[in-house]
């Protein structure tokens, strides 16, 4: 018996001597619900028997309402005016209603045992409130677009009342969750099916979101997705998902790539959506590279876009463009390598002096470097320096890539589905993203990754334990530059032209925002962050002018309230909440459970 085990408070709490999987989980300490409990507990009718049937009635009304017409006019949010033919906006509510139904049945009824594992009351509450918000916004849009609430048809009112009833029911219900979903034992086929279903949901969601024709429908989808995710998170569902994702890493990775690969086939050759998707992918691949520097090594690189630009300029000057200034035209794969190496060398030049001094300097020096890069590219036009970059006008008319006769500019037919220009680049970028993800995850789980964590934790202690602090930092910095340079060469061809104003500081800030928003040190987080940051401005044109301001605000708020990002790396979460003992205990439990699952 080691000293430590004696100190672990396993069963010495009075009253918690129930059988194996139950471990002091009568209190859901891992969510922040307990802070709000007093207000919630004073809610009238709390715990009453009427709550459950009320919820069922709410689901029936919400779902029933979607089969009726919501709007008198047929030109709002698609067509909401047809009875018994729900469109996308209405289907979202059906899905939310069905999930709420499952939660209600888990609370009481056939799925009762599931309710032992999940905080069903919280889930119903959030889902109900989310549905209510969704309905109110929908009715608002109908009213604004077609002149008053008079144009809302009965179906809309029925669904709104249904959402309200679900929300009330959720506020009145008291969860009987007694077990931590972390300790749920599930068979592997359930896990794999769950992963497949979730991935399919992501694919359908992305397709639907891209397909929405109006900003209103897109905003509504965001409300829906947010309510669904938050509700399930509150229930504790994602605790379990996180665990099975760890257990079935390979399945998840393969599945995710399958989804990403299949995506262009769902677009029916729509170039508009594929163009957005490719932009998201370029952005995401670059952000993933930045995440190695920021998320793993903990170095704040504010000039990252310059490394992408360096690669792009190499790609452009060595291309077959009539404006290219270098006579040598090697094959594209060689150009990729040269671009990547050129960026990495720049990284070494910038990194080696600055990485020796305090980390704050690096941020500023990289920022200054980004500016130097931009000025220099703008200056090398023949009058202010050798003619290399064609100055502020940049290098236009970069030809399409051509791999062994495969022209990226031409559409191709695969299985009867047209794969257009953007889809071609999409597949190429997918490969690059995959390489970067591979580099990211493998470095993270290696001697080098451990060194980076140690440096982030305590640089001096790491040095005193023999970790090559400077070398590892420089490697991260130059390695990140290498990957950005690689992506840059492709970007040059994708964008058709390069010019200095594509590589301004704000772009670097955007990349950083993707990393911060999504979650430093995670792959999934950065993918989500990049998608949100690129997709929102594309789909929500009306916020376009305010987009930068909102984004600045989001950075500040994230650092204040959720510095670890939307998808948190456990380690980062710990680092940002250094004095939260409960969190540390909780994360240790999760870790122990994962280790057990692996064994």
Partner 1 sequence: MTVTDETPAQPTPGSPTPAVPGGAPVLEARGVTMRFGGLTAVKDVDMTVNEGEIVGLIGPNGAGKTTFFNCLTGLYKPTEGQVTLNGEVLPPKPRAVVVAGMARTFQNIRLFGNMTALENVMVGRYCRTSSMALTSILRGPKFRREEEATRARAQELLDFVGLGGSAEHLARNMPYGDQRRLEIARALATDPKLILLDEPTAGMNPQETRQASDLIFRIRDSGLAVVVIEHDMRFIFNLCDRVLCLVRGEVLVEGTPGEVQSDPRVIEAYIGGGDDDDDAPPRDDDPTTGADGIPNAPMTTEEQP
Partner 2 sequence: MTAFLQAIMDGLTLGSLYALIAVGYTVVYGIVQLINFAHGEVFMIGAFGALATWTVLFKGQTGLWVLPIMILGAVIVSVLTAVIMERIAYRPLRGAPRLAPLITAIGISVFLQEAVRLFYPGAKSKLTFPEIDVVTGSAIQVGGVTVQRAALFTIGALALSAALLWFFVNRTRLGQGMQAVSQDPDTAQLMGINVNRIIVIAFALGAALAAVAGVAQGLLNSNIDFRMGFLAGLKAFTAAVLGGIGNIQGAVVGGLTLGIAESMATQFIPGQFGGSAWKDVWAFALLILVLVFRPQGLLGARVVDRA
* Residue 288 within binding range of partner 1, rule CB under 8 A: no
**Partner whose binding site includes residue 32, from partner 1, partner 2, none (CB under 5 to 8 Å by kind):** none
Site for partner 2 in 371-390 (CB under 8 A): 371-372, 375-376, 379, 383-386
Which residues within the stretch 526-585 sit at the binding site for partner 1 (CB under 8 A)? 571, 574-575, 578, 581, 584-585
Looking only at residues 18 through 57 of this chain, which bind partner 1 when binding is defined by CB under 8 A? none
Q: Compute the least distance from the CB of residue 35 to partner 1, in Å.
A: 23
CA distances from 459 to 166, 209, 293, 547, 576 (A): 52, 44, 16, 37, 16
For 23, the 3-state DSSP assignment is: coil
Q: Residue 548: which of partner 2, partner 1, none does it interact with, CB under 5 to 8 A by kind?
A: partner 2
Angle between helices 271-291 and 523-539 (to 10 degrees): 140
Nearest Cα neighbor of 505 from 276, 308, 340 is 308
294 binds, among partner 1, partner 2, none (CB under 5 to 8 A by kind): partner 2
DSSP 296-345: IT----S-HHHHHHHHHHHHHHTSS-TT--------HHHHHHHHHHHHHH
Which pairing describes strands 406-407 and 412-414: parallel, antiparallel, or unpaired? unpaired
Per CB under 8 A, the segment of 103-111, 456-464, 478-486, 495-503 that binds partner 2 is 456-464
Q: Report DSSP letters for 349-392, one per residue.
A: HHHHHHTTS-HHHHHHHHHHHHHHHHHHHHHTBTTSS-BSS-GG
Does position 352 interact with partner 1 (CB under 8 A)? The reply is no
Q: Which letter does DSSP use for residue 395 in this model?
A: B
Instruction: Pick out residues in 391-450 that bind partner 1 (CB under 8 A).
Output: 438-439, 442-443, 446-450
**In whole angstroms, what is the distance from residue 445 CA to residue 246 CA?**
14
Which one among 512, 514, 533, 567 touches partner 2, defined by CB under 8 A?
A: 512
- Nearest to partner 2 of 356, 442 (CB atom): 356
Candidate ranges 15-23, 131-139, 493-501, 543-551; the one touching partner 2 (CB under 8 A) = 543-551
Q: What b/e sequence results for 253-264 when a residue is b if at least 16 CB atoms lie within 10 Å of its CB, and e otherwise?
A: bebbeebbeebb
Among 166, 220, 305, 365, binds partner 2 (CB under 8 A): 365
Whether the CB-CB separation of 340 and 311 falls below 8 Å is answered with yes
User: What, of partner 1, partner 2, none, does residue 563 touch, CB below 5 to 8 Å by kind?
Assistant: partner 2
Per-residue tokens: 286: 């670059």
Q: What is the largest CA-CA distance in the chain?
A: 83
Using CB under 8 A, count the residues that bind partner 1.
45
Between residues 219 and 354, which has the closer beta carbon with respect to partner 2?
354
With respect to partner 1, which residue has the nearer C-beta, 258 or 592? Answer: 592
In the region spanning residues 462 to 491, those forming contacts with partner 1, defined by CB under 8 A, are: 462-469, 475, 479
Give one word for 236, left, alpha or beta, with left for phi > 0 and alpha for psi -120 to 50: left
- Provide the minimum distance between the beta carbon of 454 and partner 1 in the complex, in angstroms, as a whole number: 5
Beta strands (DSSP E) in 126-227 are: none
Mark the segment that binds partner 2 (CB under 8 A) among 125-133, 204-212, 285-293, 546-554: 546-554
Partner in contact with 353, chosen from partner 1, partner 2, none, beta carbon below 5 to 8 Å by kind: partner 2
Position 542 contacts partner 2 (CB under 8 A): no
Neighbour-count burial of 41, counting CB atoms closer than 10 A to its CB (0-12 exposed, 13-18 middle, 19+ buried):
exposed
- Establish if 337 lies at the interface with partner 1 (CB under 8 A): no
Two structure tokens written together for 539: 């789909």
Q: Is 578 in the site for partner 2 (CB under 8 A)?
A: yes
The secondary structure of 497-533 as a DSSP string is -B-GGGS-HHHHHHHHHHHHHH-TT-HHHHHHHHHHH
588 binds partner 1 (CB under 8 A): yes
Q: How far apart are CA 593 and CA 184, in angstroms?
A: 10
DSSP element (H, E) containing 174: none
What is the binding site for partner 2 (CB under 8 A)? 294, 298, 300, 302, 350, 353-354, 356-361, 363-365, 367-369, 371-372, 375-376, 379, 383-386, 456, 459-460, 505-506, 509, 512, 516, 520, 545-546, 548-549, 551-556, 558-560, 563, 575-576, 578
What is the binding site for partner 1 (CB under 8 A)? 1-7, 438-439, 442-443, 446-451, 453-454, 457-458, 460-469, 475, 479, 571, 574-575, 578, 581, 584-585, 587-588, 591-592, 595
């Amino acid at each position: 018996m080691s000293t430590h085990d004696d100190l672990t408070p396993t069963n010495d709490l009075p009253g918690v001597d129930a059988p194996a999987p139950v471990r002091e989980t009568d209190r859901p300490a891992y969510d922040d619900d307990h802070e709000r409990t007093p207000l919630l507990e004073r809610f009238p009718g709390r715990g009453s028997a009427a709550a459950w049937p009320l919820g069922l009635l709410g689901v029936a009304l919400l779902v029933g309402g979607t089969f009726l017409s919501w709007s008198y006019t047929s030109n709002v949010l698609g067509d909401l005016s047809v009875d018994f033919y729900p469109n996308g906006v209405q289907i979202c509510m059906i899905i939310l209603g069905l999930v709420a139904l499952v939660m209600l049945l888990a609370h009481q009824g056939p799925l009762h045992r599931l309710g032992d594992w999940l905080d069903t009351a919280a889930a119903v509450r959030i889902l109900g409130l989310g549905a209510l918000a969704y309905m109110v916004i929908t009715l608002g849009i109908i009213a604004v677009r077609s002149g008053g609430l008079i144009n809302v048809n009965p179906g809309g009112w029925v669904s709104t009342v249904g959402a309200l009833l679900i929300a009330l029911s959720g506020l009145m219900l008291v969860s009987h969750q007694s077990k931590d979903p972390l300790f749920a034992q599930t068979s592997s086929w359930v896990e794999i099916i769950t992963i497949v279903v979730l991935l399919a949901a992501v694919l359908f969601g992305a397709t639907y979101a891209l397909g929405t024709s109006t900003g209103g429908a897109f905003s509504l989808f965001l409300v829906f997705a947010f309510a669904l995710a938050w509700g399930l998170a509150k229930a504790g569902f994602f605790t379990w998902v996180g665990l099975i994702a760890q257990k079935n890493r390979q399945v998840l990775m393969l599945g995710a790539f399958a989804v990403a690969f299949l995506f262009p086939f769902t677009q029916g050759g729509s170039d508009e959506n594929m163009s957005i998707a490719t932009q998201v992918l370029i952005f995401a691949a670059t952000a993933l590279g930045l995440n190695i520097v920021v998320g793993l090594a903990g170095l704040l690189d504010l000039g990252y876009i310059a490394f992408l630009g360096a690669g792009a300029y190499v790609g452009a000057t060595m291309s077959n463009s009539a404006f290219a200034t270098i006579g040598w035209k090697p094959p594209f794969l060689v150009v990729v390598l040269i671009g990547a190496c050129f960026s990495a060398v720049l990284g070494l030049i910038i990194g080696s002096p600055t990485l020796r001094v305090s980390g704050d300097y690096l941020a500023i020096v990289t920022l200054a470097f980004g500016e130097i890069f931009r000025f220099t590219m703008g200056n090398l036009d023949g009058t202010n320096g050798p003619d290399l970059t064609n100055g502020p006008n940049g290098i236009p008319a970069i030809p399409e890539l051509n791999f062994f006769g495969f022209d990226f500019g031409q559409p191709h037919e695969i299985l009867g589905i047209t794969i257009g220009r953007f889809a071609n680049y999409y597949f190429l970028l997918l490969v690059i993203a995959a390489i970067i993800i591979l580099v990211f995850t493998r470095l993270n789980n290696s001697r080098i990754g451990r060194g980076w964590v140690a440096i982030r934790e305590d640089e001096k202690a790491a040095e005193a334990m023999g970790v090559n602090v400077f070398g590892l930092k420089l490697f991260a910095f130059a390695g990140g530059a290498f990957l950005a340079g690689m992506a840059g060469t492709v970007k040059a061809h994708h964008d058709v032209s390069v010019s200095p104003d594509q590589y301004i500081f704000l772009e670097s800030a955007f990349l950083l925002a993707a990393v911060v928003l999504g979650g430093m040190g995670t792959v999934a987080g950065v993918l989500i962050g990049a998608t949100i940051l690129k997709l929102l401005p594309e789909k929500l044109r009306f916020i376009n002018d305010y987009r930068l301001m909102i984004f600045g605000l989001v950075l500040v708020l994230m650092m204040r309230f959720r510095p670890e990002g939307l998808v948190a790396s456990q380690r980062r979460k710990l680092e940002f909440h250094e004095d939260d003992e409960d969190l540390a205990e909780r994360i240790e439990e999760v870790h122990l459970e994962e280790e057990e699952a692996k064994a």
